[in-house]
Amino acid sequence: MPKENFIPAYRKAHEQGLFPDIVQKAHNMLESCTVCPRDCGVDRTQDEKGFCEAGYLPEVSSYAPHFGEESPLVGHHGSGTIFLTHCNLGCLFCQNYSISHAGEGQKIPIHKLANVMVELQRLGCHNINFVSPTHFVPQILESLPQAIEMGLDVPLVYNTGGYDSVETLRLLDGIFDIYMPDFKYSKGEVSKKYSQASDYPLIAKSAIKEMFRQVGDLQIDEQGVAVRGLLVRHLVLPSDLAGTREVMRFFASEISQNTYVNIMDQYYPCGNIPLDSPLNRRITAEEYNQAIAIAKEEGITRLDKREKLRLVWF
């Protein structure tokens, strides 16, 4: 898609006057919180907190141009990442543990979140990349009209762990151009043990199907930068705890064989991993290479091709 022909979906929604209704519906979800599949039912408009520990105001850990993301997001000037504090998953091995579990970050007013987006665009970032946005969807939606009025016109990236409510995602139809979910596990007993979410595989499948319905396969402009579509991440875990074959089979058979997938090799023990856990080691080169082979066997060949510097156990 030529860059000059691209108009972000949210600008069209703004021109059509759709935001007030969308923002109100999202705000209503906060009053007895149903923003994510946990359905905690707390009143976040009064700063009550459920599983994710997020209250009413958005919380940001950091924001900056980021060059460690997938190639189509980084381009030449970086992805404008906004690391949001807290998470609706409880992954024991989270590599952003201080942010997701310990709550490292600061509360900011809605207008400041809009300012952050525009600042990242002014720095030349190709997109605005919300990292762990699930529990702050209403706040993001409320901030967008202000950012649009200040000139925001780059794609928005929904960079999520994959534990997302279809109802909430439907509010984002015509708002986000790029979805980047994880598909962490294919087995419920594993997701329950390591992320406190036994229904994760079913939820992730439904969420990814909805994301794909909205934006389709990843589209890249003439400069190699993503402008719209689905990009999926899958972190290889030791001893195949992630269930890689089942995940790749789902992409190929229920999403698209043209799905853009980043099979990630950077797992390392961190967070709160017990010493006797099978997760208390890095993956081996053989495990990673096997995951790549499995993807291709299942019909997934559109893989992220970043140069990888890996420290693995043999």
pTM above 0.85, yes or no: yes
What residues does 178 pair with on adjacent strands?
Answer: 157, 229
Question: Domain 3-297 belongs to what architecture?
Answer: Alpha-Beta Barrel (3.20)
At 73-99, the pLDDT tens digits run: 999 999 999 999 999 999 999 988 899
- Which pair of tokens denotes residue 225? 């930068």
DSSP letter at 36?
A: S
- Tell me, what's the pLDDT at 114? 98
Hey, CA dihedral for 80, 83, 89, 95, is it positive or negative? positive
Question: Residue 41: is its pLDDT beyond 50?
Answer: yes
Amino acid (one-letter) located at 228: R
At 287-309, the pLDDT tens digits run: 999 999 999 999 999 999 864 44
Question: Residue 2: is its pLDDT beyond 80?
Answer: no
At 193-229, the pLDDT tens digits run: 999 999 999 999 999 999 999 999 999 999 999 999 9
| More confident of the two residues 1 and 175 | 175
Question: Residue 233: is its pLDDT beyond 60?
Answer: yes
Contact by Cβ (8 Å): 178, 158: yes
At 160-173, the pLDDT tens digits run: 999 999 999 999 99
- Tell me, what's the pLDDT at 309? 43
Work out the pLDDT band at 310, boundaries 50, 70, 90. very low
Work out the pLDDT band at 272, boundaries 50, 70, 90. confident
For 110, the enclosing helix (H) or strand (E) is: helix 110-122
- Tell me, what's the pLDDT at 206? 98
Work out the pLDDT band at 278, boundaries 50, 70, 90. very high
Contact by Cβ (8 Å): 151, 119: no
- Tell me, what's the pLDDT at 307? 46
**Average of pLDDT values for 232-255?**
98
Q: Percent of the chain at pLDDT above 70? A: 96
Mean pLDDT, the chain, whole residue set: 95
Q: For the chain, what are the domain ranges?
A: 3-297
Determine the Cα–Cα distance for residues 295 and 244; give it in Å rounded to an integer. 8
At 252-268, the pLDDT tens digits run: 999 999 999 999 999 99
At 171-188, the pLDDT tens digits run: 999 999 999 999 999 999
Contact by Cβ (8 Å): 163, 134: yes
Determine the Cα–Cα distance for residues 262 and 206; give it in Å rounded to an integer. 20
**Average of pLDDT values for 233-254?**
98
- Which pair of tokens denotes residue 71? 């190639």
Hey, what's the torsion of the CAs at 271, 265, 77, 124, to 10 degrees? Answer: -40
